[in-house]
């Protein structure tokens, strides 16, 4: 399947992204580079990573190889990465972004997200989870608005084409919109049938903010047959109806409820399978089945940060 067959989504600043992206969390040791190379060959033109993932250099190496081979031009591919929580002090933001660009070996990224609304104490660039004598993560109380203002300057400097947020709740997003010069183009959040985020998606749509969905397949565990929305007979029946896999059905559902899913894989066959979701549509009965798995339970609650006044998950959405 070629990149031209995939849907594209327009961002509020006029840029556009493919309606699916390659997720790269925990993809290391050469796996990320191999996955990115294969994904580009398959047709992916949207790659998601983060400073915290420690694989920006692998993504960058793969992208540069495919540019050198003439498979893509730099402007063909949309690269998202993220500012980690220990870089939230405004005076650290530009240096953090430049370090990321050096990791990639690129002059700019397409989207730079604030990874979380809360922050950590800075103990060095590579100490990403600084802990105190009790072993608890050292939180800082930097206002995400101050961090955002520093991120706005990155756009003016040309270091990133766009900026956005990740894991922001409805109140944080509303406050940011009221106090920003540059509107975020994306809010990247955990989203899958068990946490379908329909209320937050509706708010983002109202403000023309694209929702990207991480953990879209709920971190499948074949041994435990979890999550049930991947392994249940009811979803398998839907998959059989369309001659697709249950993972493809779930990814299609996420697209149809208004998100851009970011499935992570380093398996070549699955990378191809995840991309091949643009030739069928679910009906209302299918949606009702997938809606029925919603519990609101998170896979990534980040409870170590629960004492931060900027912890986002005290609210329903």
Q: Which residues are annotated as a binding site?
A: 115
- The 3-state DSSP composition of the chain as helix, strand, coil percent (nearest 5) reads 40, 15, 40
SS (H, E, C) 273-308: HHHCCCCCCCCHHHHHHHHCCCCCCCCCCCHHHCCC
Instruction: List the beta strands (DSSP E) in 115-167.
Output: 119-120, 139-140, 160-166
Continuous segment of H or E residues that includes residue 17:
strand 16-18
Q: Tell me the C-alpha distance between 227 and 47, whole Å.
A: 25
Task: Please tell me which residue in 53, 112, 214, 311 is annotated as part of the active site.
Answer: 53
Looking at 77-206, list the stretches that DSSP marks H as alpha helix, in order from N- to C-terminal side.
Answer: 90-104, 144-157, 170-178, 198-206
Cα separation, 124 vs 40, in Å, equals 34
Q: What value does the CA radius of gyration of the chain take, rounded to a whole number of Å?
A: 19
Token pair 């556009």: residue: 16
**What's the token pair of residue 280?**
């069928």
Is residue 148 within 8 A of residue 180, CB to CB? The reply is yes
Residues contributing to the annotated binding site for substrate: 115
To the query of whether residue 53 is one of the catalytic residues in this protein, the response is yes
How far is Cα 282 from Cα 241, in angstroms, rounded to an integer? 10
Catalytic residues: 53
């Amino acid at each position: 399947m070629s990149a031209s067959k995939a849907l594209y989504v327009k961002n509020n600043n006029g840029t556009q992204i493919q309606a699916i992206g390659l997720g790269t969390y925990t993809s290391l040791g050469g796996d990320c580079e191999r996955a990115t190379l294969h994904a580009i060959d398959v047709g992916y033109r949207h790659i998601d990573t983060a400073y915290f993932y420690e694989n920006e250099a692998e993504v960058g190496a793969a992208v540069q190889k495919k540019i050198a081979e003439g498979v893509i031009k730099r402007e063909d591919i949309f690269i998202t990465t993220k500012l980690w929580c220990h870089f939230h002090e405004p005076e650290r933001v530009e240096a953090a972004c430049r370090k990321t660009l050096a990791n990639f070996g690129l002059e700019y990224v397409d989207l730079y997200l604030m990874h979380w609304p809360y922050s950590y104490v800075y103990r060095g660039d590579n100490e990403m989870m600084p802990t105190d004598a009790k072993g608890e993560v050292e939180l800082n109380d930097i206002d995400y608005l101050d961090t955002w203002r520093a991120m706005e300057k990155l756009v003016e400097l040309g270091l990133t084409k766009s900026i956005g947020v990740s894991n922001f709740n409805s109140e944080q997003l509303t406050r940011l919109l009221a106090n920003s010069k540059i509107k975020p183009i994306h809010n990247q959040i955990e989203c899958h049938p068990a946490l379908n985020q329909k209320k937050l998606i509706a708010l983002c749509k109202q403000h023309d903010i694209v929702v990207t969905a991480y953990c879209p397949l709920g971190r499948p565990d074949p041994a435990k047959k979890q999550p049930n929305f991947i392994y249940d007979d009811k979803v398998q029946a839907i998959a059989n109806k369309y001659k697709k896999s249950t993972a493809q059905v779930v990814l299609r559902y996420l697209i149809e409820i208004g998100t851009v899913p970011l499935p992570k894989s380093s398996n070549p066959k699955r990378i191809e399978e995840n991309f091949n979701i643009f030739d069928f549509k679910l009906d209302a009965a299918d949606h009702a089945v997938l809606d029925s798995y919603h519990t609101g339970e998170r896979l990534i609650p980040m409870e170590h940060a629960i004492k931060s006044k900027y912890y986002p998950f005290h609210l329903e959405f």
